[in-house]
Amino acid sequence: MVAVLGVSGLYHDAAAALVVDGRIVAAVQEERLSRIKHDASLPWRAMKACLAEGAIAARDLDEVIFYEQPFVKLERILITTLRRFPRSFGGYLQGLKSQLRDKLWVLDRLADGLEISRGRIRSIDHHESHAASAFYASPFRDAAVLTVDGVGEWDTTVLWRGRGETLTRLEGLRFPHSLGLFYAAITAYLGFEVLGGEYKVMGLAAYGRANRVDALSQALRLNRDGTFELAPHFFDASGTSELGFTPALEGLLGPRRPPGRPWDLTDETDLAYADVAASAQQLLEEAMGAAARWALERAECDHLCLAGGVALNAVANARIAREVGADRVFVQPAAGDAGGALGAAIVGALQRGAARPPPMTTAALGPHVDSTGLAALADALGLSVGPCPDDATLAVQLLEGRVFGWMKGRMEFGPRALGHRSLLASPFDRGLREKVNRLVKKREPFRPLAPSVLRDATAPWFEEAPPFLTPFMTTVVPATAAARQALPAVVHHDGTARLQTVSDGPFAGLLEAVGHIGPAPVLLNTSLNGAGEPIVATATDAAAFVLAHPVDGVIVGDLLLSRRRVRRGCT
Amino acid sequence: MLSLHLALVALWAPIVARSPRVAGRLLRGFARAELGSVYTLRWAAVATPSVERRASYLRHADDEARHARLFDTRAAALDGRHEPLRADAEDLFEQLGEARFLAFLERAEGRGRREFAHYARAFERAGDTDTARIFRAIMVDEERHETYAAALLDLTPDAAPARRHALRWDVWRGARRMGTRLADAVYALCMALTYPLLAPGAWWARRRAFPPER
């Protein structure tokens, strides 16, 4: 038996993944279990959950692989501090503090915490973890791989060639020239939180006109050969600033938008910020597209795999799939740092002679839902528990306008709820989008909500459904005129939708039931969480969610958990 | 120790209440503390073997999440700053065991209630009734939390020793926190003193180019 545990953490979105005998047994993000959004701490809970899924003890692991090289990262921080001297005191103080406090000793801490020998723990490069998570989980034997994120140790963008069981690094761009840092700076400029607010920029972009591209091109220069450069004086990449940009960027674009101010997209000022979002998005898409072409040319391959945080930009992925000339494109669902744990585990397993894992067809790699004890807990909380209605009954209730949480099977790996920990509603009523955004998720009204549809029923509603992207919601597709009319809650302002195609499992059964009584087998599907919370993981989390949010119930396995109805008018 | 802390709060509260900027910072600190409690309580809810206590911890966590939002929203209204609300958390249940955890809850909620009473009075006197109302509303919850924690603790056989341990542990925790702050200050001083020594290294680093690798 070859068992390897991959671990990512200490920056954001910590995770663990377990590969046993060439099979991905489990992959879990720490935030789901710790309940701390984007939890960066070492993922002890996730490691434990992975080992429990694999029914093995830590002492039985052949190896534990951390997803980046701590000392190489320290080198980057030191060199950056030196090069920015005497303006780098903040980075010197804060950057070194976090390195010295825990990051440098991460391998020792893993050995201590797992109670295994230090010799069985090592680290690999950050971008190698990303590349492995995309290529080895893909259905391709031969592909170009492009990894794009904020920064790993030194790399920000790397091209790879994947052949069978090997990944070969071809070329790369290094810090500070980073699309991730560019988009993060724009995220902060628009008043959103970095590492989480990037999705908001993407959603907001649909409301703007890309009329600031020329100005932004001064900050992010695209070269003819597929490379790009950040103009350093616009960005603060020291890591000590929440903003990531300098006053020069405000000089270029105007004053930053104050964080926390409610958005009003009928207001000229906010529309101007939407224009900045649209321009940044367009520039990012052009840079990603050029890098993807560069990767395909250098690797001399027809297929393309994408990973790294920037590959979570579904709109850019769609443009790449459409325009760069790749036959097929695959984006691993946990493309960000969480996915690094998966890549690290696979690299370790392959190096120990295990077979390459079969292509990833599902993101449901986390713990199973367990409703044992839920009835008693619900009773103690004054909630109601009953048997889950059958699919037909539930479909009727959803189409009547009710909103239900849906927890079935194993939890998803990655940021998307894909029908295992989802919040579901009718896509046919525009008002439900408002209800879900404002009352349940408490988020900006411009945030899009996604449709889930039976795989074989996409044609009348969506113009395409790339088979390696839509199962994981890692792209957007154009909605047809019929869909714009019939599915107003899930078609975005620009006429696209972040489509999920579903082919089997309980969620497919529910969609089929919806299709029998409604115009299409489509549901509005968003993640089952409230504002600022990670996606619900366990039955206990579901109970807490029902307590705090105005939903009509949460289906937990075979049970329906809901608030008790209060009888009125009787004395 | 507790009365000394409350005496300091009583002195400090009127000063805070007069400055929206300082008040905003204080309330944001409370918001972070409440959010940290949410995590601690959610972990306790997972760890406890008792369904009744799990329900109590979940309800308590729900209240703390609401308090965090109230404090954070009010802080932004006072000082006009919107900062991401993030908090550290301690797994006190695992560190202390359930009886001592309940004793600590009882103690912390009682301290919070008394502290908030000082702030509520200070903000009322300063004419900021909106902030005072938030403190008063949260005090009601804190009293309920103190009561339920005490009631659950009294059902255990170890209530008295757990309360004594919670007192000692709380004092030790306060001392440790002060130690951490002191260590942070010493670290910052040492780094400030050594920073000028980087100048030769800076000269070397600038001479070395780090172009995009091709």
Task: Look up tokens 């502290």; give the residue.
Answer: B115
State pLDDT tens for residues B121-131: 999 999 999 99
Confidence band, pLDDT 50/70/90 cuts, at residue B214: very low
| Conformation bin of residue B89: beta by default, left when phi > 0, alpha when psi is -120 to 50 | beta
Residue A199 pLDDT class (50, 70, 90 cuts)? very high
Residue B212 placed within a domain? no
Question: For chain B, how many structural domains are there in total?
Answer: 1
Mean pLDDT of chain A: 95
Q: What is the C-alpha separation between A527 and A541, in angstroms, rounded?
A: 13
pLDDT in tens, A447-483: 999 999 999 999 999 998 999 999 999 999 999 999 9
CB–CB of A252/A218 below 8 Å? yes
Q: Using one digit for the tens of pLDDT, what is the confidence trace for B144-200?
A: 999 999 999 999 998 999 999 999 999 999 999 999 999 999 999 999 999 999 999
- In chain B, residues with a C-beta closer than 8 Å to the C-beta of A79 are 205, 210
Cα A421 from Cα A5, distance rounded (Å): 24
Per-residue pLDDT averaged across A299-323, rounded? Answer: 97
Let me know: does A22 contact A28? Beta carbons within 8 Å.
Answer: no
* pLDDT value at A571 more than 60: no
Q: Spell out which chain B residues touch chain A, with contact meaning CB-CB distance below 8 angstroms.
A: 38-39, 42-43, 45-46, 51-52, 54-55, 58-59, 61-62, 65, 76, 80, 82-85, 89, 187-188, 191-192, 195, 198-199, 201-202, 204-206, 210, 212-214
State the count of interchain CB pairs (< 8 A) between A and B.
94
User: What CATH number is given to the structural domain containing B155?
Assistant: 1.20.1260.10
User: Once rounded to an integer, what is the mean pLDDT over residues A169-179?
Assistant: 95
Short-list B13, B57, B41, CA closest to B148: B57
CATH of domain A179-331: 3.30.420.40
Q: Can you name the CATH fold of A367-563?
A: DHBP synthase (3.90.870)
Question: Which residue in the set B85, B187, B199 is minimally distant from A97, CB to CB?
Answer: B187
Q: How many angstroms separate the CA atoms of A307 and A158, rounded?
A: 10
Give the pairing type, strands A404-407 and A421-425: antiparallel
Mean pLDDT of A292-317: 97
Going through A310-382 in order, the beta strands assigned E by DSSP cover 328-331, 364-368
- Asked if the structure places residue B214 within a domain, the reply is no
Span between the terminal Cα atoms of chain A, in Å:
68
Q: Flag whether B203 is in a domain.
A: no
Contact A20, A49 (CB under 8 A): no
Give the domain range for residue B170. 2-198
pLDDT confidence of residue A240: 54
Per-residue pLDDT, B1: 59
Please state the ipTM of this predicted complex: 0.92
DSSP for A468-527, please give it. TTGGGT-S-EEBPHHHHHH-TTTS-TTSEE--EEE-SSHHHHHHHHHHHHSSSSEEEEEE
What distance in Å separates the CA atoms of residue A172 and residue A318, rounded to the nearest whole number?
A: 23
Number of H helices, E strands in chain B: 8, 0
Per the domain annotation, does B108 fall within a domain? yes
Residue B213 forms part of a structural domain? no
Nearest residue, CB atoms, A89 vs list B89, B195, B204: B195
Catalytic residues of A: 12
Residues of chain A with CATH 3.90.870.20: 367-563
Locate CATH 3.30.420.40 in chain A.
3-131+337-360, 179-331
**Is B21 a domain residue?**
yes
Residue in this structure with the two tokens 């700076």, named with its chain if needed: A185
pLDDT one-digit tens code per residue, B85-110: 999 889 999 999 999 999 999 999 99
| CATH architecture designation of domain A3-131+337-360 | 2-Layer Sandwich (3.30)
**Amino acid type, A23:** R
pLDDT of A284 over the 60 cut: yes
Residue B205 resides in a domain? no
Question: 3-class DSSP state for residue B115?
Answer: helix
For residue B210, is it within any domain?
no
Q: Which pLDDT belongs to residue A563?
A: 93
Nearest-angstrom CA–CA distance, A244 and A288:
20
pLDDT value at residue B199: 94
Which tokens is B22 given? 């300082």
Average pLDDT over residues A151-179: 96
The pLDDT-based confidence of A239 (bands split at 50, 70, 90) is low
A570: pLDDT strictly greater than 50: no
Round to whole Å and give the CA distance between A340 and A356: 16
Sign of CA dihedral A438, A444, A448, A452: negative
User: pLDDT > 90: what percent of chain B?
Assistant: 87
Q: Is A550 exposed, middle or buried (0-12, 13-18, 19+ CB in 10 A)?
A: exposed
